[in-house]
Amino acid sequence: MQSHGSRRSSLPLSRRTMLRGLGVSMALPWLESIPVWGNEPTRAAAAGQAPLRFACLFSGNGFHSREWWAKGTGKDMELGKVLEPLASHKEKLLLIRGLYNEEALKGNIHSSQTGNLLSGAPLSAGGAIRSGTSIDQVLAQRIGNQTKVPSLVLACEPAMAAVHKNYSMLYSSHISWSSPTTPTPLELYPALAFDRLFKDDDQQHDQSVLDAVLTEANSLRGRISRTDQVKLDEYLNSVREVEQRLERAGKDHHLQGWRPTLDKPNISRPPDGVPHDIAEHMRLMSDILVLAFQTDTTRFCTLKLNNDHSSLRFPNLNVDYMIHHLLSHTDSADWLKVNRFFVEQVAYIATRLDTIQEGEHTALDNTMLLYCSSMLNGGHDATQLPVVILGRGGGQLETGRVLDYRGKPNRKMCSLYLSLMDKYGVKLPEFGDSRERLAEV
Amino acid sequence: MSIRSTWLLVFGLMCLAWPALGAGDDAAVFATLTKDFESKTHPILKQYCLKCHSTEAQEGDLDLERFQALEQIRREPRVWEKVVEMLDNGEMPPKKSRQLSDLQRTELRGWVRSYLDAEARANAGDPGPVVLRRLSNVEYDNTMRDLMGIDLKPAREFPVDGAAGEGFTNVGEALMMSPAMLDKYVAAAKGIVAHAVLLPDGFRFSEKSTRRDWTDEIMTEIRRLYARYTDAKGARRVQLQGLDFQAESGGRIPLEKYLTATLDYRALPAAGRKTIADFAAERDLSPKYLQIVWDLLNGHETSPLIDNIRSRWRAAQASDLPGLAVEIRQWQAAVTKFNSVAHFKPWMEPVNPLTESQAFRVKLDSPENAGDMVIRLVTHDAGDGSTGDVVAWTQPRLESPGRPPVLLRDVQDGLRGIAAKRLTFAETAKYLAAADGARGQTTAIDLPALAKTHGLDTSMLRAWLGYLGIAGQGPLEIPGLFRERIQNGGGYNFVKGWGLPNLPSLLANSSDQEVRIPGTLKPHSVVVHPAPTQNVAAGWRSPIKGRVKVEAQVVHAHAACGNGVAWYLEQRRGRERRRLTSGELNLGQTAKIEPINDLVVEPGDLIALVIAARNNDHSCDLTSVDLTVSEAAEPARTWILSRDLTKDILASNPLADSHGNPDVWHFYQEKSTGDDGSSLWSIPHGSILDRWRDSVQKSERDQLAEQLQQLLTQGPTGAKDQPDSVLYRQLTSLSGPLLGTLDFSALSAEVRKAGAQAAPADLAYGLPREAFGKLPQESGLVTSASSVLEVRLPADLASGREFIVTATLENQAGRDGSVQTQVVVTPVTASSLIPGLPILVRNGSATKSRFEKSLDEFRSVFPIAVCYPQIVPVDEVVTLVLFHREDEGLSRLMLSEDEHKRLDRMWDQLRYISQDALRVQEAYGQFMEYVTQDGDVRIFEPLRKPIAQRAEAFQKRLIATEPVHVDSVIAFAARAYRRPLQAKEQAELRELYGKLRQQKLDHDTAFRLMLARILMAPSFLYRVEQSADSVESKPVTEWELASRLSYFLWSSMPDDELRQLADQGKLHEPEVLASQMKRMLKDERVRALATEFGCQWLDIRGFDVHNEKSEKVFPEFAGLRSAMYEESVRFLMDLFQEDESVLNVLDADYTFVNETLARFYGIPGVTGPQWRRVDGVKAFGRGGILGMASLLSKQAGASRTSPILRGNWLAEMLLGEKLPKPPKNVPILPESELDTNGLTMRQITEKHRELESCAKCHVRIDPFGFALESFDAIGRRRTTDLAGRSIDTSAQTKDGSRFTDISGLRDYLLAKRREEFVRQFCRKLLGYSLGRAVELSDQPLLEQMQQKLTAKDGHVQAAMLTLIQSSQFRERRGLASPLEQEQAQP
């Protein structure tokens, strides 16, 4: 594994120096961006610089109550048994303890601990659906238009259609929210996720059709109630976004002059349907996430490995007798085994990203991969959430550290989100229940 | 009418007069409540609650301090619903805090209850906040299904819908839209429109999405109609390009069925018998045709053909019918012929069996020693008596190729002449001597002179010379030598040869490659192809003198078609020709040719292998040939045709051999003698005569001549197959190469000239000369009906020849006659009209008219086929017809007017969908360009114009139907939007079409995009309801009401009847609404109500794919889950469709099972996969939802049961109890029933209750679960758990009731919890029907529903009727309240 200094100042400068020194003898695909660089001298600083990606991976029901921990720094970091699969990424890893969402402590267990995980928003009960726009979607909506697909929202377990103790189970199965009333639809099918990234069947005349439905929707809007208008606006906005995508199609939308290391997929389209085996399902979705970043088809992706209140079983691990949710109440060896299986998925993605060379860094260096759950352990404890970040955010994130906020006054998840968003140039005065940043991040 | 008052209150508009009845009462109630709040309630709150629930502290997010007066309370009644819940659950005040006295508790609770009741009544009937709903995935699929008529389930890969409101997926709040979701809708719409099939009058949808499949669909439908009335008899096997096809099959009338029906109908007593139409309907026959046949058979007008059938029918018993049917079929075959339809010909064509003359050619073949042959000239009276039936037989004679004909008239005298000629055998030596002399002669032979010189009979000498091939020794001439070279045979540059471009030809393949040209041409081989009357030959002209061995190979090289070839091998010297051997070959066969050894050749002799078309049919006659000549003595050279030719065949013709001799190989054509070699006899090899011919010594020849004379006079002595025996037979046979060449006419004249008396033996054959000559032609005969004239002939004379004669009605006497004539060799008697035989009548005669009329009548009622059922012709290699329609008979005879119209419509659609007019034009172009192989394409030239005109007309039609499609899309939009379209919307759709066409899109694409646009329209995807423009609630429109009803009961769009009622404005009428509900509940689509409402309420929806069971512990589960689900779905469907009591959900003693599930349940006597209701299932521990495996499995772990899950489900889902949130850090339960330290699941669960924080809930839920412990984790009955411990199902509830097992639980629920259960059912049904959460203002409606249920013994439709007639269901809120608007802001 390659290792670079983690000080952010060293990044752009050293690469440019190095390029001058070596000329164009480095036979890296990344060098294709050089002509762009040359053509746009005024944007030279930004041109050719790999974009910063954000991925959020989620698994429900928390982890083993005694094995989620880390201590020490860098290479010498020690990891609890749950986190051991991340051992090879110690230097690119930031473990944060003690963060929480105030709103998740109210309401029900499970569902109301999950639906607002990435927004910190209050949740509506009593049959209504209301949360907050999640961090991935805030980023996608502000800067996601630089790629073909603004964001990708993947899942390996279908959503649950029920209401549990007066809270819709939508909350248990959606961490990504496009608006406070719109959980982002989950793509469960690897093949369809692949198509969404790479299938180009939009045609020019589609524009006329979309114009027509937009006209109809606008004229309908005047005839329905205000509340209905809000609902219809979801439709209007969706049509507009698809239209914008059509407009962008064909244009070179690599605004930074960035040329991805792959310009088309290097894996074939996954088979139709949902894989029977959960390990295979997670692997395919992980590959798609990596491919999406590598081809720069999207820069924002959430991957929900399972639901909170999940009913997955794990015959692949020989843990077949109990579903994930019930297993979370046991703190057993099998529970640990299942925890590690999930963390292995995170490690897999990190490793894949880390082998993709982008200039003198890797795709992992240019990514922030957040992994979290809705509770610390099966006992529904959401007063301190398990959070780990992999990747160095283009050199902006100091990794190889453990931050512990337990007992500190400012320990809100939303403060972390504000800090992270800053690194994408999305500087918000407040988010969810926080107006502060985490200074150490 | 109800109004919404909540938000009015906000503005303090209480002073407004309520339009609702009882408003005055409300005011009084609220006044009392205000008073009580101030005096009693508020003080209690202050004392016990506000310390924690202050504005400051807001424990549990609850601020009760802000409620200072009733107005504030009335703004947020939900808070007070929660307060009641907490009090009822005993959760508040917390145990550690100061407790209320019982009185205070009662007072506080009483006041809040009273307030909530008053609030509910004040707003009763409020339609509530129903937010704009997108179609759920299920609704989308179902709507698509009902809109298109096909079930494509386009939403199957959509993201799962969320649930909200009362826990259902039809609630607007949970039905989100986003760009990713929109993409799914766009993709689905585009996928669906590919299934639209354009029709002349609109469009339809098909399961398939290719033109080919759509064409097949419509053809299948047409064939189905054809097959309904016809059967598939009459097939004829044809072979095209090596493939077998059935041609001419089907389309036949099932005659036996109709004839049987007429017989059976006849047997019914005439008085009061049912109509033919009814009778036919019973037997699934065409009433029309049965009537036609009946009328024909019972008719009286005479008609020769029909009379015959009629009289047979009248006398017929059932057993006679097959015979009658056979007769009719024979006539059918005689009066109709089939054409191949591939080139625009009609399939059936009438054949006229009426003729003026009938020519006979009877091949006479007799096995050896079979004795004499008898030919019979038969005259039948054609069924109408023998008046005028006088027949003239013209020139009866025997013929064979290459011989003079033998007139029947000359047989008697001729045979006497032959007998005289036989006497010359005694002078055979002299004949041979004369021949020997002639052989050397170089000038033409003067036969009479030669005969005279030797004192011989001229005709016999001519016969001898002919037999010996001695015609005067002129030079050998080959006039047909090919002059034209062929360079690129079959398109291959290595295939070359000689011949004419259009045959005959001879080709050689010089390569190592096997090619098809067509027909197989092997590497380094030679092929020939004869023409109809031109044989092809390859000859070797001898450059040597000596003895040779000749070998030949002949292989028919094109096995796929044609009739094979004939071949012979001959030796020519000067004008002599000697047939060495000959034979015929069938398709693909190889000839077996014995090598000819020791053949004597002179320089200049030609040895030729000749190939002839057989019967002048030269199709596919490609034949591979080879010829090898080897010298018997040194230098023992060989000449091999294929070796010498494949080097450079084109060098010259004749071609040099490989030994340096020029002009050896000759390739030529020769006129076919038509004999195919069979009548030219070869002198048997090794016989006396053969040796005589080859002998070079005169003395030897003389000796041999003597031997031959002896043979001919004394007969052979050797075995039958000895060369001399064969020679003897040849020379003495009447049809042999010697005597057979004598002219009977001349013989006869000779005999008569001699005036010798005939011996009696001579008169045994032929007919007396006096029998002939009664006609202008003196060789003819005359007969009358009915007669059989027998003529005896010696087998030796007849065999191998054809008897030829023409029969006509005699000019004068036979003018008005009608006969059928036959020439046969087997005994026969004359009879009346014979099916299938031609009928002789004179043109212009009355008899002919009579027969013509009869034939027309027969064809009209008994056509051989009534339709061409194949539709697609397969009767030619190349077809120019895609679909052939010929079904006039079917329509005329069998189809009702409606069926006929339907058939016309289907054909029109077939032509329209397949666009065959265009396809045919394309095919024609290619055909004319490329098809040159087999003859003249000019005969297809006349088709060019009609085909072009048809194509042009179709193009015009396509353009003409474009506006029809646009109109039909607009009509489709109205169905898709579930309401009439506004004029503006229509205009917009047309505008879109115009715009797309401007973008150079073709009509088809623009049409599909319009359809797609409709299927992604908000009016389709959303259930849009327009808002009233007043603050008051207003009834929804008729169309909106139709959708409310259909989506409630079917999860799908309104059907035609609902649409019609909406259109007429009648749907809102209560009795119409009620009857529609009853009608709709009978429909199959109620399945959606069962799954979307019932199963979702009971939390078992989608159980058929439930994947939460351990595969190790329950490997059988995967095979059972769909049956478990189906049981529940069917049970719930039945509940609604049969209007069962809602209590049956708990208490039914019946359920629905198939064999799989019955076996699992242990219910005996159920076999087969079909589903059925079974009663008395309580005896097996089943009945109602509590006994269903779906529910019992769903509420259990992966490998063990869970009394908690089951109990909790029962309390919350069935009884609507509100249980508090579980405490933090619940104790850990063991993982399996085997790993519990000896405790049962029940005992483990009971341990929970030792903790007080757990106990308060578990006492409410566990007992239910315990009672159900007799079912394992997949719902199987059990008495012990997996570890073998016995199960305890006894339970004690919080209210002190005790019971055991499912039956005890059921009784308890019915007795003590009935009301809660019914209320919960009503609540869920209300929430589902409206797609929203139940509001406080719904309470009165819920009570009303419960009352109706109680009054009507629980029958569910009572509650449903109350529901759909409520203002909640029929009305919609007006403008949203400010509060609501505020909440709606994102």
Cβ-based contacts of B1195 with chain A (< 8 Å): none
- Virtual CA dihedral for A209, A215, A218, A224, nearest 10 degrees? -80
Q: Which of residues 171-230 of A touch B (CB under 8 A)?
A: 173-174, 178-189, 192, 196, 204-206, 208-209, 212-213, 215-217, 219-220, 223-228, 230
Q: Print burial letters for B167-176: b (CB count within 10 Å at least 16), e (below 16).
A: bbbbbbbbbb
Which of A188, A228, A379 is the closest to B132 by Cβ?
A: A228
| Lowest-pLDDT range of B121-125, B168-172, B452-456, B611-615 | B611-615
Q: Which of residues 54-113 of A touch B (CB under 8 A)?
A: 106, 108-109
- For A275, the token pair is 């894989």
Which of A238, A323, A379 is the closest to B178 by Cβ?
A: A238
Tokens 């005298």 sit on residue: B413
- Residue B161, chain A, CB below 8 Å: the answer is yes
Contact A129 B174 (CB under 8 A): yes
What is the per-residue pLDDT across B340-353, written as a single tens digit (0 to 9) for each? 887 778 999 999 99
Half-sphere exposure of B1197 (CA within 13 A, CB side): 23
Q: Which of residues 1027-1086 of B touch A (CB under 8 A)?
A: 1027
Cβ-based contacts of B1005 with chain A (< 8 Å): 205
What is the per-residue pLDDT across B748-765, written as a single tens digit (0 to 9) for each? 998 888 887 777 777 789
pLDDT of B11 above 60: no
**Nearest-CA residue of chain B relative to A235?**
B177
Q: Which of residues 1213-1272 of B touch A (CB under 8 A)?
A: 1219, 1221-1222, 1224-1226, 1228-1229, 1231-1232
What whole-number percentage of chain B has pLDDT above 70? 92
Q: What is the arithmetic mean of pLDDT over B1079-1108?
A: 96
| Lowest-pLDDT range of A165-169, B10-14, B53-57, B1243-1247 | B10-14
Nearest CA distance, B1338 vs chain A (angstrom): 15
B779, B827, B841, B825: which is closest to B805 by C-alpha? B779
Q: What is the arithmetic mean of pLDDT over A27-50?
A: 38
A312, A242, A253: which is closest to A278 by C-alpha? A312
Where are any strands of DSSP class E within A84-236? 93-99, 152-155, 163-164, 167-168, 177-179, 182-183
How buried is residue A69: exposed, middle or buried, by Cβ count under 10 Å (0-12/13-18/19+)? middle
- Residue B162, chain A, CB below 8 Å: the answer is yes
Range ranked top by mean pLDDT from A17-31, A324-338, B388-402, B770-784: A324-338
Half-sphere exposure of B601 (CA within 13 A, CB side): 29
What is the per-residue pLDDT across A212-271, written as a single tens digit (0 to 9) for each? 999 999 999 888 888 888 889 999 999 998 888 777 765 554 445 567 888 888 889 999
Band of residue B8 on the pLDDT scale cut at 50, 70, 90: very low
User: Distance of CA B1247 to CAs B898, B1239, B1258, B1267, Å?
Assistant: 77, 10, 10, 17
pLDDT of A99 above 60: yes
pLDDT of B214 above 90: yes
- Residue B81, chain A, CB below 8 Å: the answer is no
CA–CA gap between residue A368 and residue A353 (Å, rounded): 11
What is the per-residue pLDDT across B70-83, written as a single tens digit (0 to 9) for each? 888 888 888 898 88
Residue B1204, helix vs strand vs coil: helix
Q: Which of residues 1203-1222 of B touch A (CB under 8 A)?
A: 1212, 1219, 1221-1222
Cβ-based contacts of A204 with chain B (< 8 Å): 999
**What is the structure's pLDDT at B217?**
95
Q: Which of residues 629-668 of B touch A (CB under 8 A)?
A: none
**Nearest-CA residue of chain A relative to B1199?**
A321
Find out whether B1024 and A220 touch, Cβ atoms under 8 Å: yes
> A38-46 contacts: CB < 8 A, separation 24 or more?
A40/A257, A43/A256, A43/A257, A45/A12, A46/A256, A46/A257
- Looking at B715-840, list the stretches that DSSP marks H as alpha helix, in order from N- to C-terminal side: 723-732, 744-754, 795-798
CA–CA gap between residue B1053 and residue B1035 (Å, rounded): 20
Contact A129 B1332 (CB under 8 A): no
**What is the structure's pLDDT at B266?**
93
Contact B1009 A238 (CB under 8 A): no
Find out whether B640 and B524 touch, Cβ atoms under 8 Å: no
What is the per-residue pLDDT across B1291-1316, written as a single tens digit (0 to 9) for each? 999 889 999 999 999 999 999 999 99
Q: What is the arithmetic mean of pLDDT over B1362-1371?
A: 95
**What is the structure's pLDDT at B148?**
95
- Looking at B652-780, list the stretches that DSSP marks H as alpha helix, in order from N- to C-terminal side: 688-694, 698-714, 723-732, 744-754
- Residue B1019, chain A, CB below 8 Å: the answer is yes
| Lowest-pLDDT range of B165-179, B783-797, B921-935, B1138-1152 | B921-935
Band of residue A45 on the pLDDT scale cut at 50, 70, 90: very low
Find out whether B1213 and B1191 touch, Cβ atoms under 8 Å: no
**What is the structure's pLDDT at B1240?**
82
Q: Which of residues 120-139 of B touch A (CB under 8 A)?
A: 129, 131-132, 134
pLDDT of B14 above 70: no
What is the per-residue pLDDT across A162-213, written as a single tens digit (0 to 9) for each? 888 888 899 999 999 999 988 999 999 999 999 988 887 667 788 889 999 9
Tokens 């030079």 sit on residue: B475
What is the per-residue pLDDT across B654-682, written as a single tens digit (0 to 9) for each? 999 989 899 999 999 988 765 544 445 67
**What is the structure's pLDDT at B386?**
81
CA–CA gap between residue B156 and residue B192 (Å, rounded): 13
pLDDT of B842 above 80: yes
Q: Which of residues 276-315 of B touch A (CB under 8 A)?
A: none
pLDDT of A389 above 50: yes
Which of B162, B1219, B1384 is the closest to A129 by Cβ?
A: B162
- Residue B999, chain A, CB below 8 Å: the answer is yes
Contact B160 A186 (CB under 8 A): yes
CA–CA gap between residue B44 and residue B375 (Å, rounded): 133
**What is the structure's pLDDT at A31?**
33
| CB atoms near residue A170 (< 10 Å) | 28
| Lowest-pLDDT range of B94-98, B970-974, B1104-1108, B1136-1140 | B94-98
ipTM, two decimals? 0.84
Nearest CA distance, B167 vs chain A (angstrom): 5
**What is the structure's pLDDT at B1326?**
97
A198, A356, A242: which is closest to A290 by C-alpha? A356
Cβ-based contacts of A220 with chain B (< 8 Å): 1018-1019, 1024
CA–CA gap between residue B661 and residue A357 (Å, rounded): 83
Residue B235, helix vs strand vs coil: coil
What is the per-residue pLDDT across B472-514, written as a single tens digit (0 to 9) for each? 656 788 888 999 998 888 778 889 999 987 788 999 998 888 8
Band of residue A5 on the pLDDT scale cut at 50, 70, 90: very low
CA–CA gap between residue B174 and residue B133 (Å, rounded): 9
Interface contacts (A, B; CB < 8 Å) = 250
pLDDT of B419 above 80: yes
Contact B179 A160 (CB under 8 A): no
Task: Tell me which of A1 and B176 has the higher pLDDT.
Answer: B176
**What is the structure's pLDDT at B1029?**
64
**Nearest-CA residue of chain B relative to A277?**
B1107
Measured in residues, chain A has a length of 441
Element (H, E) at B1382: helix B1378-1384
CA–CA gap between residue B1066 and residue B1068 (Å, rounded): 6
Task: Tell me which of B501 and B431 has the higher pLDDT.
Answer: B431
**What is the structure's pLDDT at B917?**
93
pTM of the model: 0.76
What is the per-residue pLDDT across B1327-1358, written as a single tens digit (0 to 9) for each? 999 999 999 999 999 999 999 999 999 999 99
pLDDT of B1378 above 70: no
- For B1386, the token pair is 């994102």
pLDDT of B304 above 60: yes
CA–CA gap between residue B1255 and residue B224 (Å, rounded): 70
Query: For an interface test with B, which of A136, A148, A235 has the most B Cβ atoms less than 10 Å from its Cβ?
Result: A235
Find out whether B620 and B239 touch, Cβ atoms under 8 Å: no
- Residue A241, chain B, CB below 8 Å: the answer is yes
**Mean pLDDT for all residues in chain B:** 88
